[in-house]
Structure 1
């Protein structure tokens, strides 16, 4: 099978923390894309349908502005912090 490398793209992401509603997601809540549940998880309308994110998961803004969840172990293997100078 041919091999491909992921293009270097800078993304925005915020990690969910128990009991917190990140400011970075407030507009998505207003727009109905994100909904907090009583058990602390978050429901996100993605391009593939509604997905759930739990505390500790990351919410990523994709290259087209879409939001989607990512488990912490996958996030750590895939992304590294960008430090603006």
Structure 2
């Protein structure tokens, strides 16, 4: 059987890794404040991952966003990263 994704609207932004990023949506700021999303200090991040990372706590465990990845808030408020090529193949701007 084949399946097609239902059309749903999500919110997302490209994470630049710049602490002065101006287009951070309210929901990511709230997730950082609550500890659901953690941005380790650059030295800690570089030592652990080799790049600046955003750690996102999900039901499946901690997922990592790199600079340039999309960060998505899903239909139930869940937050997760998505690689740009997958995002662009899956979503279109509304």
User: Which category of TM-score, normalised to the shorter sequence, fits these structures?
Assistant: 0.7 to 0.9
Query: Number of residues paired by the alignment?
Result: 81
Between Structure 1 and Structure 2, the one with more helix by share is 2
Match of 1:29 in 2: 32
Unaligned runs of 5+ in 1: none
Task: Report Cα offsets for 1:39-60 as digits up to 9, x if no partner.
Answer: 4210000121101100000011
Structure 2, unaligned stretches of length 5 or more?
46-51
Instruction: Give the TM-score normalised by the residue count of structure 1.
Output: 0.87
Aligned mates of 1:18, 1:67 — CA distance in 2: 17
Q: TM-score, normalised by structure 2?
A: 0.80
**Partner residue, 1:16:** 15
- Calculate the aligned-residue CA RMSD, in Å: 1.3
